[in-house]
Structure 1
């Protein structure tokens, strides 16, 4: 199995072919690259898949200090 960043994969084969192989448009590939998202492409035995990694939780609603009283019954 080989894993590449989307940026590296596109550098090798171009946006149009990357989009065709991943089942999306060239425009979607371009937007993903410009957004700076952490997208990776896995290639294994002729199969290709892409996945994204992002922080958990994805959005921080607010920073809240947890105190002992928060855990009191």
Structure 2
């Protein structure tokens, strides 16, 4: 399996095609790119794609 950052995947495939391959909307891709989320796209052995996000734990700040 190869792993590619979302911004590189979108640069290769285009935003609409990337959204279709990941089964999300084009606005969702745009929002993720704008927010600079750390999302990696995996190409699976069957040729499909899956995205995973690296997030800190805990993901939300604790209220003080």
TM-score normalised over the length of structure 2: 0.90
Aligned residues: 63
After superposing the two structures, state which structure 1 stretch, 24-33 or 53-62, moved more.
53-62
Q: State whether structure 2 residue 1 is matched by structure 1 residue 31.
A: no
Confirm or deny that 1:15 pairs with 2:15: yes
Report which structure shows greater RCO (CA 8 Å, sep ≥6): 2
- Residue 51 of structure 2 corresponds to 50
Q: Which runs of 5+ in 1 are unaligned?
A: 64-73
SS in 2 for 1:3: strand
Shift of 1:44: 2.1
| Runs of 5+ unmatched residues, structure 2 | none
Moved over 3 A (4+): none
3-state SS of paired residue (1:8) = helix
| Matching of residues 51-70 of structure 1 within 5 Å | 51-61=52-62
* Aligned-residue RMSD, C-alpha: 1.3
Q: Distance in 1 between matches of 2:48 and 2:29?
A: 18
